[in-house]
Structure 1
């Protein structure tokens, strides 16, 4: 954000030259940021990251509107919605970090030419482009590493989570003609996510990823049951347990959906390249590591471990981090390069967005409608 501010001030074309005002929101989730402070100062190792990582439960993520904008519960969310309605921006950029993988961009409207600019930025900075991003597994591709966010629609809980099918602050200003770009930058890069070649054994890889996820989920569910009774005195235990319960809820369904022998025939996985299957493997490890890391924090904060869970959690975290590091060859990307990548992609999106016609109110796209998306916690 500060880099963008410096460049907007230094380059008159970015402001007066395009009759543009830049509004920069430094952090949408200050509470979440505070809870991640233990790893933000380093050391930047995978084990340290996941043992201190925090992401809110689905219902406390400020960009999601599972019950619609009118029912937004978080003050941060309500403030952002009000700002969007007041400013009606031509472009909204939401800067995200991917723990392990590659860089990619998600758009609420097409922005021709962005894929080529992202390719140039990524090549200059040595950032792998994620050509089969798991977050956008079922979404239309607008170009390499650029995806179209579908309008919110009713669906299953799995669709709400994996397809971002619920209403969100990304789509809320759509009615004003706003284009939203979600810019994802990796902290640890994996070169294989940029490999668009056919995978030599896609079915076997899917079975392996699914089998590992099932085994890890069973272990984590058992550990959670053993740990939970001893958390009464742990401050904010509910905040840490909420995402744990979310992950444990969706993991069995994810494993079944990814397994070629059990996946639903009505909703098959898209054809997966090496990049896509690498992203699937990373996603399976990610949800396990996040769950294990949160449980590790809960036990550590309790000050005692009557369930004997810490040794098992440490072994699981170490094993899955080793797979990232040695199996997937994940490599740390310095923060300076992460920030530079995001800044350059935002500036590229801006340069293209100010030249495109302003979109109409409620674009009339198929499946766009006023109906409330399925509440993720009630499906």
Structure 2
């Protein structure tokens, strides 16, 4: 089984490091040897570490995650795996380094890793590795994740998590005015600003300088920008006089962004699916695998004519009959049922009618008696 190793931005074929392991005594199916990190653990000087890392959480503890597309499985260091449910690993599995050395598997633990806002619960191997946690191809494939080495981002679900080189973490930068510029009164404009240092990630958020006093009446808009030498900054002058921004003067503050939530990209419905049917299949998508969702779409599309197109399209049928067997029991006629909300109102009206009738009766009786006495 040939593997690939990364050199710069190119991928080229490397030596064969995977081999079939010998079956254990319990008769389980033989498994392929699994390749851990793409660098040699026996001699770190043989290869320059070109992996990318990001900040994650194992439970409620921060953890530096190494994203390694050359690793077939996910591995965790012994101290990070402490306290999580564990089990004995499959004896047929073995770990091998690029240099051909063997790496013993100490245990297997079930832990929850959070990248961005995405929690991942998984069984991972425990080994004596230098990194805290190595994210391998098994998790990347299971969660349909993708790594963009050029942009240094990890696409996971509807989020992009920033990656960076080990030892070069994200850091904020001040933005300085690139050249002299005058902002007219009661207006806004785009000012080119120069970064004092690189952010270490692809994106940054431009904000007002914290704990500083910008020119009176000058406000900076919050903007998402890419990490480069000069970035555009939207500035507004709310005063009644022109404001001059001098070259090299502090303008704004740029904070590195390590997580970007992507807008949901809705795929066009399959041919033959109405918008109502497409909404129904989309609602079931989170609970299905990609293959099951495709089968559902094909099934609904094939029999789309038997589904209601809207709330008025249910119709009637004489294909099905329904009969309730009551035996020899006679039909029971019940009085009209009054909803609970209307019962109090009905009692009130009945009481009021009874009072009116009684009053009229008493009044008429008094009149009759009165007339008799007068006569």
Whether the TM-score (by the shorter chain) exceeds 0.5 is no
Q: Pick 1 or 2: higher relative contact order, CA cutoff 8 A, min separation 6.
A: 1
Query: What TM-score, normalized to structure 2?
Result: 0.24
More strand by share: 2
Which is greater in Rg? Answer: 2
